[in-house]
Amino acid sequence: MPRVDQRRWAEVYLRGLLFLDGRKSVRKMAESILSLPVSQSLQQFINQSPWDWTPIRSQLAHFLGSQMENQAWVVSPAVIPKRGSHSVGVVRQFIPKEGRMINCQLGLGLFMTNATTIAPVNWRLLLKGKWAHDEDARAKVYLPDSVRGRPEWREILSMVDQSIGRWQLPPAPIVAHVPDPVAARELVDALDVRGLNYVLRVSESFRDLVQDQFVRSQRSKVLVGGEGARESGRLPPLLGTLEFPVGHQSTSVLIPLAGPRGKASYGNRVIRLIRERRRHSPGTQKLWITNMTQARLDDVMYVASLADRSTQAVRLLESNFGLQDFEGRSFRGWHHHITMVSAAWTYQQVYGGLE
């Protein structure tokens, strides 16, 4: 931050996120950290002050890169319930993990992840409904003209391009849940063109889309548990087993895909479909796709398992770090708050441990 006063208020805000119990409101931060009636100044810092969150996120990511080996870029949603409809991005929408409609903001976090450390370094706020086209509503929350509603897969790609491209952070597999099969296809194409590895959780309907639209050849290789192969005259069922982790079984199949649309010279590709089953809960299954076709199946499933860490991290961000406690309405304020939350989490991860 360029100004001394901004850095001073940032320290107050971070201390509030780190050390206050319960809801972390601006007023509570001012009274508890400074014991002074300066909540308006702190509110101005987080809501209106014109500091740019992008270089701070970049510095956080580079700092984390010096402290950990990033094994995957994991994308995780963050649901932020709201009572009214005037805060930026708030719409009533169906949240699959809740199984119901919720009036909320929906953010996407990009996490640097390994087996022991995880931290969010980039964020996007999904803009749907009026926030994409209602100029009056957009003006009230100071939404820039350049920021419009985009599909979730494009927001994922935007974070990846910014983090790996413009910030020049090392590539690692992209892990995300993309239930819409058409969106999954778009993201697969975009990541393949960029030469990036991915492990994406998809819906069962993705297999139908593959069979109907992707497969040029009628012949596919089936890998049983990552070992051996045989030829089949049709898109085969997922067969065989591999134990990973305990209580899970994973099976995989290799299938050819047409090159990305508009890239005639790109040629055919091969991707791997993996079905993950829980041994003691046969009805609980996950379907994954990856371009890591030469990797061991258990290594791919290790990368996929890192998605669970981001889900757990979001819960802790909500309960312990004030993720859902932002009281302002502006686009700038939302990004300021979420960046401070990321900084507080990073401090705790590096200097205080996950607990």
Query: What residues contact 195, with CB distance under 8 A and at least 6 apart?
Result: none
The neighbouring-strand residues paired with 273 are 253, 289
pLDDT higher than threshold 60 for residue 96:
yes
pLDDT for the residue 233? 32
pLDDT of residue 280: 63
A 10 A CB-CB count for 8 gives 13
> Phi first, then psi: what are they for 82, rounded to 5°?
-135, 150
Is residue 38 over pLDDT 60?
Answer: yes
CB neighbours of residue 22 within 10 Å: 8
- Report whether pLDDT(55) > 60: yes
- Summarize pLDDT for 247-270 with one digit per residue, the tens: 567 788 887 777 666 565 556 678
pLDDT at 130 over 60: yes
Q: Which residue has the tokens 């790609």?
A: 157
Is the bond into 173 cis (omega within 30 degrees of 0)?
no
Hey, what long-range contacts does 263-270 have (CB within 8 A, 24 or more apart)?
263/189, 263/193, 266/192, 266/193, 268/216, 268/217, 269/192
Look at residue 44 and give its three-state secondary structure. helix
In this prediction, residue 66 carries a pLDDT of 94
Cβ atoms of 298 and 226 closer than 8 Å: yes
For the chain, where are the alpha helices, taking DSSP H only?
4-19, 26-29, 39-47, 53-67, 130-133, 135-140, 152-160, 181-193, 205-209, 297-320, 331-347
The mean pLDDT of 121-126, rounded to a whole number, is 97
pLDDT of residue 284: 74
Mean pLDDT of the chain: 84
Amino acid sitting at position 126:
L
Pairing between strand 118-125 and 100-113?
A: antiparallel
DSSP 259: P
Q: How deeply is 79 buried, as exposed, middle or buried, from its count of CB atoms within 10 A (0-12, 13-18, 19+)?
A: middle
Task: Compute the average pLDDT of residues 313-328.
Answer: 93
Q: How confident is the model at residue 156 (pLDDT cuts 50, 70, 90)?
A: very high
Q: Greater confidence, 314 or 98? A: 314
Whether residue 79 is predicted with pLDDT greater than 70 in this model: the reply is yes
User: What's residue 87's pLDDT?
Assistant: 95
Own/partner long-range contacts of 104-107 (Cβ < 8 Å, ≥24 apart): 104/79, 104/80, 105/79, 105/80, 105/334, 106/77, 106/78, 106/79, 106/80, 107/77, 107/78, 107/80, 107/338
Q: What is the predicted pLDDT for the residue at 248?
A: 60
132 within 8 A of 147, measured Cβ to Cβ = no
